[in-house]
């Protein structure tokens, strides 16, 4: 993100002058009862809000990119929230230490605490498969792999580990879980979806209990719950129907009737609200042509009034800007529609002064009622009080040893082995190739994804789109895992793309070929052909013509394999396993059984898409729920 322009800076100065004037006219005597943790929360909220200016209330509704802010801006404006967008690390250093993160957090928070009322800011980050922006953090399989485990208790433990590692850097709010029901694998966010089946997605909302803590019995439905300083506020996203867009095009239109929306895309939100989820993020997409960011019927009437959701609703990144095309072409009108629709907190990178001026004008001109502003601020403060931010706004280094801890890496390794789906094992049940022998003469390991942590982890890893780099963070590649698993006497030959001479002159017992997709996120991952990218496809076909081959496919969704299946001896769907490649070797060599089941239908050709279980003309290569099982050796 670029620095502020001169125009933005001048606007900032002018707005600051008006802000100071507004604050200076207030009664200097502040009732600090809202800082007393022994008082009822509703009283604390009321006492605080009664003393807030309109300017301070509107500022609480803003979430700013941390690269566009200083501690002084937080102090002078009383900004509500900051975000580290993926890649926004301390000092723009991707290998920043946990201590660097803690120091950055505290510097910002001290700015907020020195504001007139001392309201702490709420810092947010995309911890979507572990604390994925932090170097050396434990990175778990992406959601599609977790859906293959069918194990809600495992996912809950992953939520708890993610919360602990995120809190270790001082951050109390994560944009997780994504509870989209991906109905078309051409969608670039499909790996962020647990399944095409809403029932699997419902089961996986158990991650909320891991992130936030188990909600106490008899708690009020819809009220946010966070169970301590090692827990975080969670965010169910993207409300609603983001996984059902036409042809899987990101941010596009989901066409379905009310019954279709309620029966497929909405159920996981019921369960998230019941579990006390703190926040819900609105989708860029539309429902039957109406932008979700302006859908008052769904955000206010259904989510807040019918489902009794008491946390706050947040926009997506520049979600207000993207309500029109070209983006931001009617920003003032879009802001009015979005806030009136029920959005409480607005991500406003980078136009904070414009946001504050426009919303203030809308309120003064009665285009946004003050009651709507008060409702938004009340919800935001409820989450802050629930988090204990007023009592414990600053953090320390006491949890930094939790980043990438052995216990968390062991958990990730368990998740990897439970997520693997065995699609083919030999020509038939009488001639299986797996489990592989650890003691043999010579093994070939090949493929672009065999020795590359960046490819293994996929998107949302250190950076938004991920990296095709092996040293991007700490972890164990599949090649390293194989090397550790086999007998010391077994020779391993590694060649990313072996030539004909190597294949011809070496007598390999078998080959393990690891290929798949490059990293991607969101719209960059939209794909209409879903073929295995080169050079992986050529590597796979060349090796499998020459020797017995075990193909491990690293991808965020099913890919076209039907034309090649007969030439492969073994096919394993490994999804996007994260940093702990040992989980792959654990199962290939029989230390643990294959237990994963397809969380989505594996198509024969892309011409069949969209195709989901229960469809009238269901004709898959591998059906939803498929997965061969073999025991441990």
> Given this model, what pLDDT does residue 582 score?
98
> Given this model, what pLDDT does residue 631 score?
66
> Given this model, what pLDDT does residue 3 score?
39
Q: Evaluate if pTM is beyond 0.85.
A: yes
36: Cβ–Cβ under 8 A, 6 or more apart, which residues? Answer: 44
Cβ proximity of 105 and 123 under 8 Å: yes
CA atoms of 343 and 376, how far apart (whole Å): 8
Q: How far is CA 266 from CA 129, 230, 232, 575, in A?
A: 23, 29, 23, 25
CA atoms of 464 and 486, how far apart (whole Å): 35
477-510 per-residue burial string, b: 16 or more CB within 10 A, e: under 16: bbbbbbbebbeeebeeebbbbbeeebbeebebbb
From 206, 242, 316, 517, the catalytic residue: 316
Measure the CA dihedral 135/139/142/146, to 10°: -170
Structure tokens at 417: 């082995």
> Given this model, what pLDDT does residue 632 score?
67
Q: What's the length of the chain? A: 633
Strand partners, 183: none
224: Cβ–Cβ under 8 A, 6 or more apart, which residues? Answer: 212, 233, 276, 277, 278, 279, 310, 311, 382, 383, 386
> Given this model, what pLDDT does residue 497 score?
97
Average pLDDT per 10 consecutive residues for the chain, totaling 633 residues:
39 43 56 98 98 98 94 96 90 94 98 98 98 98 99 98 98 98 98 98 98 93 96 98 98 98 98 98 98 98 98 97 94 97 92 93 98 98 98 97 98 99 93 97 98 98 96 97 98 97 94 98 97 98 97 98 97 98 98 98 98 97 96 65
Clarify whether 586 is annotated catalytic. Answer: no
Clarify whether 316 is annotated catalytic. Answer: yes
From 103, 165, 517, 522, the catalytic residue: 522
> Given this model, what pLDDT does residue 630 score?
84
Sheet arrangement for strand 253-254:
253-254, 286-287, 290-291
Cβ proximity of 360 and 75 under 8 Å: no
Cβ proximity of 208 and 276 under 8 Å: yes
Average pLDDT across the chain, whole number: 94
């Amino acid at each position: 993100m670029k620095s502020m322009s001169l125009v933005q800076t001048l606007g900032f100065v002018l707005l600051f002058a008006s802000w100071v004037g507004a604050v200076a006219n207030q009664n200097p005597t502040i009732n600090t009862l809202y800082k007393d943790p022994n008082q009822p929360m509703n009283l604390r909220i009321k006492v605080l809000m009664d003393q807030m200016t309109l300017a301070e209330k509107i500022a609480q509704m803003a979430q700013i990119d941390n690269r566009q802010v200083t501690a002084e801006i937080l102090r002078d404006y009383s900004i509500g929230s900051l975000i580290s967008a993926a890649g926004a690390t301390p000092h723009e250093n991707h290998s920043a230490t946990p201590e660097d993160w803690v120091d950055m957090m505290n510097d910002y928070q001290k700015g907020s605490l020195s504001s007139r009322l001392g309201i702490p800011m709420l810092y947010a980050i995309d911890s979507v498969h572990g604390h994925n922006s932090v170097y050396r953090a434990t990175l778990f399989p992406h959601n599609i792999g977790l859906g293959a485990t069918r194990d809600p208790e495992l996912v809950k433990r992953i939520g708890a580990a993610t919360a602990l590692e995120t809190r270790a850097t001082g951050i109390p709010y994560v944009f997780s879980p994504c509870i989209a029901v991906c109905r078309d694998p051409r969608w670039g966010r499909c790996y962020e979806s647990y399944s095409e089946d809403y029932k699997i997605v419902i089961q996986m909302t158990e991650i909320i209990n891991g992130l936030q803590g188990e909600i106490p019995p008899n708690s009020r439905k819809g009220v946010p719950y966070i169970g301590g300083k090692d827990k975080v506020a969670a965010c169910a996203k993207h409300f609603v129907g983001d996984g059902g867009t036409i042809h899987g095009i990101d941010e596009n239109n989901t066409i379905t009737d009310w019954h279709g929306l309620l029966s497929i895309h909405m159920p996981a939100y019921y369960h998230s609200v019941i579990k006390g989820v703190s926040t819900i993020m609105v989708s860029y997409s539309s429902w039957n042509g109406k932008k979700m960011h302006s859908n008052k019927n769904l955000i206010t009437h259904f989510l807040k009034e019918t489902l009794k959701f008491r946390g706050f609703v947040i926009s997506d990144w520049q979600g207000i800007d993207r309500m029109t095309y070209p983006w931001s072409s009617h920003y003032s009108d879009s802001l009015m529609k979005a806030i009136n629709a029920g959005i409480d907190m607005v991500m406003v990178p980078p136009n904070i002064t414009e946001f504050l001026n426009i919303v203030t004008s809308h309120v003064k001109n009665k285009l946004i009622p003050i009651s709507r502003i008060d409702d938004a601020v009340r919800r935001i403060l409820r989450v802050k009080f629930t988090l204990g931010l007023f009592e414990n706004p600053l953090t320390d280094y006491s949890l930094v040893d939790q980043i990438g801890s052995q216990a968390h890496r062991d958990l990730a390794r368990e998740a990897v082995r439970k997520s693997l789906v065995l699609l083919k094992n030999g020509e038939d049940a009488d001639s299986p190739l797996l489990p592989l022998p650890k003691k043999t003469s010579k093994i070939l390991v090949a493929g672009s994804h065999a020795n590359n942590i960046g490819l293994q982890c996929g998107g949302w890893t250190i950076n938004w789109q991920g990296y095709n780099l092996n040293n991007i963070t700490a972890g164990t590649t599949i090649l390293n895992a194989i090397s550790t698993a086999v007998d010391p006497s077994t020779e391993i030959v590694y060649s990313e793309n072996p030539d004909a001479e190597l294949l011809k002159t070496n007598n390999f017992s078998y080959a393990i070929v690891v290929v798949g997709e490059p990293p991607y996120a969101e719209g960059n991952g939209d794909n209409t052909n879903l073929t295995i990218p080169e050079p992986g496809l050529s590597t796979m076909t060349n090796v499998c013509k020459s020797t017995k081959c075990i193909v491990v496919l690293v991808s965020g969704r099913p890919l076209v394999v039907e034309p090649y299946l007969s030439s492969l001896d073994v096919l394993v769907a490994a999804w996007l396993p994260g940093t702990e490649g040992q989980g792959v070797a654990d199962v290939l060599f029989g230390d643990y059984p294959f237990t994963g089941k397809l969380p989505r239908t594996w198509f024969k050709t892309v011409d069949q898409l969209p195709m989901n279980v229960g469809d009238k003309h269901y004709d898959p290569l591998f059906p939803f729920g498929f997965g061969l099982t073999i025991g441990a050796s």
